[in-house]
Amino acid sequence: MIADIEREVGYTRTLTGRSSLAPRVMAAMAKVPREAFVPADMQDYAFDNGPLPIGCGQTISQPYIVALMTDLLQLEKEHSVLEIGTGCGYQTAVLAELADRVFTIELVRALGEAARRRLEGMGYTNIEYRLGNGYDGWQEHAPYDAIIVTAAAAYLPDALIRQLRDRGRLVIPVGQPYMHQELMLVEKDAQGAVHTQDILGVSFVPLRDEDERNGTTDEADDDFSGSPG
């Protein structure tokens, strides 16, 4: 898997401007066991460099994309990071290897609760969890040094920009479902001015808004919130 990521970095270097990823990021990718986050019937494909279904219409992202998005955040050990879209918890675990605190939000209760059990069982103690609308972010713990969104937003959410610290970085795919999406890097400078950069064309499942709930996934705000015991 690591070799596949390195090859993909080489293939896309003219688009991303990156001929390699940070050693800390690659070490985290090597340490986190992707097979622990993949459904039992997908185990044979756990280390393939591609996305896989995890249920509820969601996916675990391609390892290269996880590594690239993490690298774009430029995380330091003392940083706090907000993740929008816990999913199965794979990206969450990678972030937890690199940052001091990870705050992660999931809209789908079944996914969020399963991810929390999985991550707590793996011994991660620097993650806080919430069930809620990712477009709103998590104001209580803002500002964040970094924010990562693991589903495609229809637009750049103002709430996430407001919750980003000066000199902070937001990595987010933006675009319509099943159409062109662009992985964007959003940076705030020291004066709070916002700068955006298109990185790479991508294809993500859509970031769902709370208003789109249809009651079929048993979602509810806040019942899932809190830090591990």
3-state DSSP helix/strand/coil percent for the chain, to nearest 5?
A: 35, 25, 40
From 61, 80, 225, 227, the catalytic residue: 61
How far apart, in whole angstroms, are the C-alpha atoms of residue 7 and residue 9? 5
Tokens 């319509």 label which residue? 176
How far apart, in whole angstroms, are the C-alpha atoms of residue 35 and residue 170? 27
How far apart, in whole angstroms, are the C-alpha atoms of residue 165 and residue 157? 15
Q: What are the φ and ψ backbone dihedral angles of 210, each rounded to 5 degrees?
A: -55, -35
* Pair 200, 182: CB distance under 8 Å: yes
How far apart, in whole angstroms, are the C-alpha atoms of residue 12 and residue 121? 36
> Token digits for 197?
């950069």
Judge whether 61 counts as a catalytic residue: yes
Active-site residue list: 61
